[in-house]
A and B are shown apart, each in its own frame.
Chain A
Amino acid sequence: MKISILGTGLQPFGRHDGVTPIEMGVVAAHAALDDAGLGWNDIQLAFAGSLEVLQPDTMIQHMGLTGIPFTTLYNGCATGGNLLLSAANAITAGAGDIAIAVGMDKHPRGAFSVGDTLESIGLGQWYGETGLALNPQYFAMKTKRYMHDYGISETCLDLTAVKAFENGSRTDHAWRRKAIPQDEIARSAMVCDPLRKFHFCSPSEGAAAVVLCRSDVARRYATRPVELRADVFRTRSYGSFETLSPSMPVKSAPSPSVQASRAAFEMAGIGPDEIQVAQVQDTEVGHEIMHLAECGFCKDGEQEGLIRDGETKIDGRIPVNTDGGLLANGEPIGASGLRQVHEVRRQLLGRGGRNQVPGNPRTGLTHVYGFPGVSCVTVLSV
């Protein structure tokens, strides 16, 4: 069965002092419902996800107690992707015709802490006590090795950040709306070599929601539904290099992002060269660069030329993270993947405003990646 997207909405990402994540989820859900021209009474299935909120389904008290099944899930930074997939799968299974997926989060300032009990994520407490168990270290070390193997320069890192903040400066709902000059990025404080302050996204607050339905009923609700051509979730294979890994095998394997994007292209029946706008996980610039290759947009090492030539900018060959991505919006983990869907849909409907990709793009891709080696990729089209 085919699935269509009827509406999307955000509680714009940033800092919202005094606003609870549940309240932000409610704002995003109403925005998505308004966009779809539907009410909460029309929703037959709901899915919500969050890192910080134990039970995001408690938002139903504020939406209205309609008795619908409301599933919660959490898959690290891939939560948003799996929320959409799970909602689509439930519709495909016949559980209902119209569903909503809502992601929300509200993180403290600063780097993510692994918390009191590393055992709860399958690791020993020693791993955090000794100053390992830090995502930025992993991002830096994968980037460092990639630069060594494929000749990616520090300039390429800086240009990727320049592009992110430039796109953010054109996006009314972005958190970071100020363009940052290349030399300021290149001189910013080193966080984990080779990655500097302005190379990283920050944890933030916000929510995103998507209303979706069976494609054969979509025309009742929308004149221009966006089709979910593919939605794939993959966990890592033995041999991929993942965050929070006390060891990794010498034997190597493609990352979960590679596995998910390949399967998504197969499901959609198109190739990466047909994608006209993409949102890829840019926790920091190194991973945006590596994810370009992992998602099939170029070969390893070709990013250096691609980025220097401006091909990932809004008017480039493959515009990436057109709303500024995670760098300009921050990452409320539960919501991040659905923000990507919101942005790609805006672009496909020609609603991109000052950051609209030229040439009426008809196909887009979203990609999230996170701990412990999980990735979701969607292909969307109009």
Chain B
Amino acid sequence: MAKRTPIDAGLFAGSLDVPRLRGSRCRSCGETTFPAQKGCPACTAQGCEEVALGTRGLLWTWTIQHFPPPHPYAGDADNFEPFPVGYVELPDGLRVEARLLGCDAASLEIGMEMELVLEPFARDEDGHEVVTFAFQPVSS
């Protein structure tokens, strides 16, 4: 398999072969945040621990991005195709914002089950595939 580079190494927990998002859980109040951070936004405690987030959840809201995002968008703005974006509610007590794959305005529905996938997004200077995270509908 060609070498894959994450768009930001801090987003993922462990190997990309089994992708999991890397969040942080407060040792004091148990609230979870993504991306991982040290301080807890819920209770002000410092010193959160890193956790691998669940990979399945329910679509909480969505939209379709119909115009090419301005700088610093790294996608192909010249051959732009509208893409869906949503928040997926994970069992860890948070909703994660993400690009959505394998769905469109006609098929998207609040409450549908989604799963984490990697999305090839660009190529870096060495020709390696740069990947980001996305969610797609769980195939029934």
Contacts and interface: CB of A to CB of B under 8 A. Distances in A.
Contact of B85 (A118, A141, A142, A191): A141
Interface string A126-155: 101111111001001110110010000000
Contacts of B85: 131-132, 137, 141
A245 interface: yes
Contacts of A116: 71-72
Contact of B66 (A114, A145, A191): A191
Contact of B7 (A126, A133, A142): A126
Nearest to A246: B97
Given A250-B93, A250-B94, A129 B7 contact: yes
B64 interface: yes
B94 A192 contact: no
Nearest to A142: B61
B98 to A, nearest CB: 8
B74 A250 contact: no
Contacts of A134: 65, 69
A221 interface: no
A193 interface: yes
B63 A193 contact: yes
A132 B87 contact: no
Contacts, number: 124
A130 B63 contact: no
B45 interface: no
A223 interface: no
Contacts of B70: 110-113
Contacts of A251: 31, 42, 93
Interface string B82-98: 01011101000111111
B66 A141 contact: no
Contacts of B99: 130-132
A192 B93 contact: no
Contacts of B31: 238, 249, 251
A67 interface: no
A125 interface: yes
A372 B30 CA distance: 23
Contacts of A144: 61-63, 110
Contacts of B121: 130
A126 B94 contact: no
A198 to B, nearest CB: 14
Contacts of A131: 65, 69, 73, 75, 83, 85, 99
Interface in A218-246: 238, 245-246
Contact of A113 (B23, B71, B93, B95): B71
Interface of B: 7-8, 10-11, 23, 31-35, 41-42, 60-67, 69-75, 83, 85-87, 89, 93-99, 105, 110, 121, 132
Interface of A: 110-116, 118, 124-126, 128-134, 137, 140-142, 144-145, 148, 189-195, 238, 245-251
7 contacts: A129-B72, A131-B73, A132-B98, A140-B63, A141-B61, A141-B62, A144-B110
